[in-house]
Amino acid sequence: MNKETISPLKILFIRLGKGNEFAQDCIEQSQTLKLNYDKTDHSFCQNKQWDKVEEDFKRESEELIQRGERKRGLDIGGHIKQLKIFYECLDDNVLWVTKYKGSLWWCFAQPEITLVEDNTKTRKVNGKWSNCDLQGSPLLLENSVELDDKLKNLPQWTIPELDFNLQKYIVKLINGKLNPNYWWVNQGQSFEDEFNGGYIRSPQKEKDGGINQCFENMREIKRGDKVASCINGEIKAIGIVKFDVFEESIRAEDIGTEREKGWKAFVDWTLLESPFKIKKNHELIRLEEPPLDKNHNGRQGYIFGISSKLFHIICKSDLEIQEKLIEKDIINNPLLAITEKEQLIKARRGQGKFRENLEQIEKFCRLTKLNRTEFLIASHIKPWRDSTNEERLDGNNGLLLSPHIDKLFDKGWISFSDEGNLLYSAKAEEALEKWNIHKDMNVGEFTQKQCIYLKYHRENLFSNANLLSSTN
């Protein structure tokens, strides 16, 4: 549980000048908010003489039309609303956010408004602008594509309104509630009960009242955290925490002691198809991971924090697990509408909007020439699990393939050059011969966007080690 969180009265997004022209000065130097409106009288705004501000805007609007610089008048009500927000939202618990250099920046501001020499208006920031969450992790927008898209699509006002869900999301992001923690839990004999019951639990303290770091770790568990379950040197299951950890009374027979209070968190568990064997994969695991000693033997203790890298190494052993975790992240993403979530999940199975988009581009299987689309699989070129949400629905990121061809393409045993030449590995050679697929076949050129995805497929899925190409 975070000891420090923010709970702002409201959140306001501000563009720091046209084209972010003031951002460098505001964020890196002066630590201010800055509003342009250099033709607007500062004293009128400060004294809330909005009728006089309106008169000034009317005169300016008429002059612009007379000079031929505008066909229609200014949106006077909209401009006054911007000024009112800056001049009247003076509570020091209003959170201000902006975009700058690929990050989300945030601050709280002082109420005093200063008129600068160039007639812009500024407010000092309390402390400094920050581009990290309260856990110290950078708020990189590349890690939150949906948020970046939402901010890009805001109305082009200086201080556009944010909807409630977006404000709620930003607060969680800054509080570190959206970036998951990764945990390793040694379950042993408790596995069956905890897996079937869908939870993890521990006491709060040792029997003698002493502190146990593993029990302290339980305090930090929150919704969305990822958990790996270890039993006898194997990771057998992966889970996602469904709700923040909570305090519970534990019966003595549950834990074999007289401790009364414990921590509990509900977990959505999924079994790995094949357990991840720690010793067998020791070369992939760095030595400083807390659950393991230098010989990759497990340490005593219930739950340890681990790196995201180790968690994803474990998940890589099971593609189905990877995709299920992504699905759950999509379902839990508050920035996505229900219809968006449905389409993204359908796309994993080659259905819905993705298939509709694909069928606008591809009409048949390029290798078998079968054009009965009901018999064809809508296959992603760049795998669904590796794609952004936009790429998951992009028709250019797909091919219509006969089922047996899809198997080869999905495993990376065949691919295509940008010019349409069939590329194949040794693993696919026998199958292609028996299916009467000519190995020197050219399936036609691809669109420019398809080529971008095919490059990813060749470099990340296709087996270059055994490459046999008719172009050689």
Percent of the chain at pLDDT > 90 equals: 68
Residue 334 lies in a domain: no
Q: How confident is the model at residue 251 (pLDDT cuts 50, 70, 90)?
A: low
Give the number of other CB atoms < 10 A from CB of residue 449. Answer: 14
| 400, part of any domain | yes
Regarding whether 208 and 162 lie in a shared domain, the answer is: no
Residue 101: left (phi > 0), alpha (psi -120 to 50), or beta?
left
- Whether 56 maps to a domain, the answer reads yes
- Ramachandran class of 222: left when φ > 0, alpha when ψ lies in -120 to 50, beta otherwise: beta
Residues 268 and 290 in one domain: yes
pLDDT at 110 over 90: yes
Per-residue pLDDT of 119-143, as tens digits, reads: 999 999 999 999 999 988 899 998 7
Q: Is residue 2 in some structural domain?
A: no
Same domain for 164 and 55, yes or no, is yes
Q: Are residues 70 and 137 in the same domain?
A: yes
Q: Closest Cα to residue 107, out of 2, 28, 21?
A: 28
pTM of the model: 0.71
148 and 31 housed in the same domain: yes
- The stretch 13-33 carries a mean pLDDT of 95
So what's the pLDDT on residue 143?
A: 79
Domain assignment of residue 331, yes or no: no
Q: What CATH number corresponds to the domain at position 247?
A: 3.10.590.10
Q: Is residue 189 part of a domain?
A: yes
pLDDT at 471 over 60: no
Pick from 290, 325, 360: which residue ends a domain?
Answer: 325
Average pLDDT in the chain: 90
Distance CA 278, CA 230 (A): 9
Residue 283 is predicted with a pLDDT of 79
**pLDDT attached to residue 252:** 52
Does one domain contain both 163 and 50?
Answer: yes
Domain count, the chain: 3
Full domain range(s) for residue 452: 346-469
Question: Is 34 in the same domain as 160?
Answer: yes
Task: Indicate the residue type of 244.
Answer: D
Residues 303 and 381 in one domain: no
97 plus 151 within the same structural domain: yes
pLDDT at 126: 96
330 domain-assigned: no
pLDDT at 287 over 80: no
107 and 162, same structural domain? yes
